[in-house]
Amino acid sequence: MGYDDVITHLGEFGPYQKRIYYLLCLPAIVCAFHKLAGVFLLAKPDFRCALPYENGSTYELSPHLWNLSYPQDDRCSYYDVEYSEAYLNGSIPRSSNETKTCSRYVYDRSKYLNSAVTEWDMVCNRSLLSATSDSLFMLGVLLGSFIFGQMSDKLGRKPTFFSSLVLQLIFGVLAAVAPEYFSYTISRMIVGATTSGVFLVAYVIALEMVGSSYRLFAGVAMQMFFSVGFMLTAGFAYFIHDWRWLQIALTLPGLLFLCYYWIIPESARWLLMKGRKDEAFVIIEKAAKENKVQVPNEIYEQLVDEVAEKKKQDEMAASQPAATVFDLLRYPNLRRKTLLIFFDWFVNSGVYYGLSWNTNNLGGNQLVNFVISGAVEIPGYTLLLFTLNRYGRRSILCGTMLVAGISLLATIFVPSDMNWLIIACAMIGKLAITSSYGTIYIFSAEQFPTVVRNVGLGASSMVARVGGILAPYLKLLGEIWRPLPLIICGALSLTAGLLSLLLPETLNKPMPETIEDGENFGKKPAPQEAAEEGGGNQELAGMLNGKSG
């Protein structure tokens, strides 16, 4: 008897669960606002050095003045000459080719009225600051997944959700009014941490209250709400051209979710796990009433017995050494699979955010590129609903990463005057990597043994965040050569896709429970080792028994 059996009586996705589920999907939109806002908050328009004689000039100059003032393909310096009227008129030649470093800049404000980049001159030798700001935002996401994950398990889903939501509102506004780069970046980093508290906790609550047959749909559909927020971010940027007001506009919708405090319940599954059965039964009864079903009394009695048994098991488990990531790296086959999974997570996160933040470097209309980049995620996630349980996890993971790699690498051969084809290849890659990212969550959970599954997924998530932390620097490479970020993402995707073929398929296979199961799962001993397999397994079991003892 377990809580899943309770859900069977309540209805796996009844009216009560649907109402709560769709309410919990909406905060994913705001989390997308914050994660993708950096594309516009830190937008880098065309710029040039302000010439000594200029005071408040517009960006445009005649080709004649460009040639007189700046070295070819260099907007970070200007010729160190006397800009007299005679020189500017072309009456006298340039006396020197020496250049001087900029002290002021003029920006093209035709696309962006301003941004944090233009306000704090994060260009030329300071261009690294903008990428570092986005990188620290992703570091916040990493820290938040750890901090709020621990809070969620210890203090409960509901208090963690609302505390992170309040912090998101406070520091979202503080980022908008920040007077300088340091306070802006720290505020944005804290906002990044809160996206883990809001989105991941809402994700967990949602999945914990639906039946097992609906979990694939529930997980994928919530990701689609994130994609909707992705696209809506461009809508805000279209109407709001001042970066400070844009940051406020993207933050304030979070106020609507504070009213959830009186609507969203604590996870009944978590309450039962913590032995708070009376509170859990109140929630179950409320759900049963709304779903117009009756939960038999014997189910409550069996749940009470289960809670007591679970408490005994927890007490026994507390006396045993805690599982660590080193358990996944101790044995050869399990270590090989774990490292492959880590690499897949790193590539998926790095490529996903690298492509999402690189839309300004693709050429053409930047807002349209951004909207398309978000829109292609919808068919990417929809693909999973129809294929994962039919063709297998490994086939979809490998196939989508190969498609992403090939489409992105194909941009090498696209003529520079066919910019539309470069954008099309980039968007095919984005669609494919989105499907891959959605697959890796399920595939990894089915690969890791039960005794270290949470540890394995937590470590995988941390490796993924490292990919996200490095992704902003791809934008800088795009300023050197526009196709370079796409080529790097393509090479990584292609490599990871091919390496994924070394992982065993998990569809319709029993999930490994112990470390020994995990070591043996997908292992193909050589013919000469087949006779020794039984002895090897006994040796492994002996090692594990010795460790647990």
Nearest CA among 257, 254, 142, 246 for reference residue 190: 142
d(CA 78, CA 49): 7
Nearest in space to 503 (alpha carbons), one of 421, 409, 401, 352: 401
CB 47 within 8 A of CB 107: yes
Q: What is the pLDDT of residues 222-234, one digit of tens each?
A: 999 999 999 999 9
Furthest-apart CA atoms within the chain: distance in Å: 100
Tell me the average pLDDT of the chain.
Answer: 86
**Do residues 263 and 23 lie in contact, with contact meaning Cβ atoms separated by under 8 Å?**
yes
Which alpha helices (H) appear in 178-330, and where do they start and end?
A: 181-195, 201-208, 215-239, 243-251, 268-273, 277-291, 297-318, 326-329
Q: How confident is the model at residue 315 (pLDDT cuts 50, 70, 90)?
A: low
Class of domain 325-549: mainly alpha
CB 283 within 8 A of CB 17: no
Distance between CA 15 and CA 135 in Å, rounded? Answer: 41
pLDDT digits 0-9 by tens, 333-386: 989 999 999 999 999 999 999 999 888 888 788 899 999 999 999 999 999 888
Mean pLDDT of 294-306: 77
Q: What is the per-residue pLDDT across 84-106, written as a single tens digit (0 to 9) for each?
A: 888 888 788 887 888 888 888 99
Q: Where in the chain is the domain with CATH 1.20.1250.20?
A: 1-44+125-320, 325-549
Evaluate whether 265 touches 158 at the Cβ level (below 8 Å).
Answer: yes
- Helix 277-291 × helix 3-10 angle, to 10°: 20
pTM value? 0.87
**Mean of pLDDT values over 265-278:** 84
Buried b (16+ CB within 10 A) or exposed e, 40-62: bbbbbbebbbbbeeeeeeeeebe
The pLDDT score that the predictor gives to residue 32 is 95
The CA angle 255-259-260, to the nearest 5 degrees, is 110
* Cα 80 to Cα 88: distance, rounded to the nearest angstrom: 13
Residue 111: pLDDT over 80: yes
Look at residue 77 and give its three-state secondary structure: strand
Q: Select the CATH number that applies to the domain covering 1-44+125-320 from these four: 1.20.1740.10, 2.60.120.380, 1.20.1250.20, 3.90.1570.10.
A: 1.20.1250.20
Q: What is the CA radius of gyration of the chain?
A: 27
| 3-class SS shares of the chain: helix, strand, coil, % to 5 | 75, 0, 25
pLDDT band at 311 (very low <50, low <70, confident <90, very high): low
Do residues 261 and 291 make contact, with C-beta atoms less than 8 angstroms apart? no
Q: Do residues 463 and 345 make contact, with C-beta atoms less than 8 angstroms apart?
A: yes
Rounded Cα gap, residues 458 and 464, in angstroms? 10
Q: State yes or no: pLDDT of 16 exceeds 50.
A: yes
> Residue 1: its pLDDT value, please?
47
Residue 175: pLDDT over 70? yes
